[in-house]
Amino acid sequence: MTNLRSVRYELKTELIRQGYTLSSFSKISGVNRGVLSSTLSDPPTKSLSMNQLNQMSEALHLPVGWLYKQYAEELIKDIEHVSWRKVKDLLTHCLILNKVSLIKMMLDALKDKTAYVNYIFELAEELIEQGSQADLQMFYQYVLDY
């Protein structure tokens, strides 16, 4: 992993650069001011969801996905305590944006986590049922490697 700055650092820096307060940014992003405060505080008292990250990116007029690598690295750093929902959301959003390298990075981080095998398989099946046209080979390969 690289020494990237944290998602929170990047978001706070961009808020300051663009001249937002938490209140003004809450209004334009649609993210509750209390949630912003607790996710951007140091140390954070609440974790950041993919939806919140995407809302903030759009409100800052930055492309959705601009902080996905940092978000993935933060999840990997704490992989023992991260919920499947966060991993699933990241994998799904990366698939939509064709961020293959981040999907591979996450799957590599989950390599020794046998509990994730069923989750990954179920995600691939769910995506197929939803009509996804994405290449899901990485997910099935992850399952087959067990």
- Sequence ranges of the domains in the chain: 1-66, 91-146
Q: Is the distance from CB of 117 to CB of 142 less than 8 angstroms?
A: yes
pLDDT for 42: 82
Read off the pLDDT of each residue in 101-118 and give the average, rounded to a whole number.
Answer: 93
pLDDT digits (tens, 9 = 90+) for 20-66: 999 999 999 999 999 999 999 888 888 899 999 999 999 999 999 99
Report the candidate in 6, 122, 12 with the shortest Cα–Cα distance to residue 71: 6
Residue carrying structure tokens 């912003």: 36
pLDDT for 4: 57
User: At CA 66, angle to CA 135 and CA 93, rounded to 5?
Assistant: 35
The pTM of the full predicted model, rounded to 2 decimals, is 0.90
Read off the pLDDT of each residue in 94-120 and give the average, rounded to a whole number.
Answer: 94
According to CATH, the superfamily of the domain at 1-66 is lambda repressor-like DNA-binding domains (1.10.260.40)
Mean pLDDT of the chain: 92
Q: Is the distance from CB of 97 to CB of 54 less than 8 angstroms?
A: no
Cα separation, 96 vs 100, in Å, equals 10
Q: How far is CA 16 from the centre of its chain?
A: 22
The structure tokens listed for 9 are 């650092």
